[in-house]
């Protein structure tokens, strides 16, 4: 149980760093404003879905996440 919690915490840290890096680097790429906004929203939605899936796995709603 402790190993699973540590794995989940590490996964959430990695996802947070990736989300932060994308949000920092996205303005550096020249593109129209709506496309950058759409990409930012899509990445945020994907991270939220992954986090919800992990939490649902812990609660037993879906098959648990195995590392």
Confidence (pTM): 0.67
In this predicted structure, what is the pLDDT of residue 59? 73
- Evaluate the CA torsion angle 43, 49, 51, 53 in order and state its sign: negative
In this predicted structure, what is the pLDDT of residue 51? 81
- Encode the chain (67 residues) as per-residue pLDDT tens digits: 677 778 778 888 888 898 888 888 888 888 888 888 888 889 889 888 888 887 777 777 766 556 6
In this predicted structure, what is the pLDDT of residue 67? 61
In this predicted structure, what is the pLDDT of residue 63? 62
How buried is 22 (Cβ within 10 angstroms: 0-12 exposed, 13-18 middle, 19+ buried)? Answer: middle
């Amino acid at each position: 149980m402790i190993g699973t919690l540590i794995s989940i915490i590490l996964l959430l840290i990695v996802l947070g760093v990736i989300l932060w890096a994308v949000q920092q680097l996205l303005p550096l790429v020249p593109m129209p404003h709506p496309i950058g906004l759409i990409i930012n929203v899509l990445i945020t939605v994907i991270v939220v879905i992954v986090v919800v899936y992990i939490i649902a796995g812990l609660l037993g709603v879906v098959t648990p996440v195995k590392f």
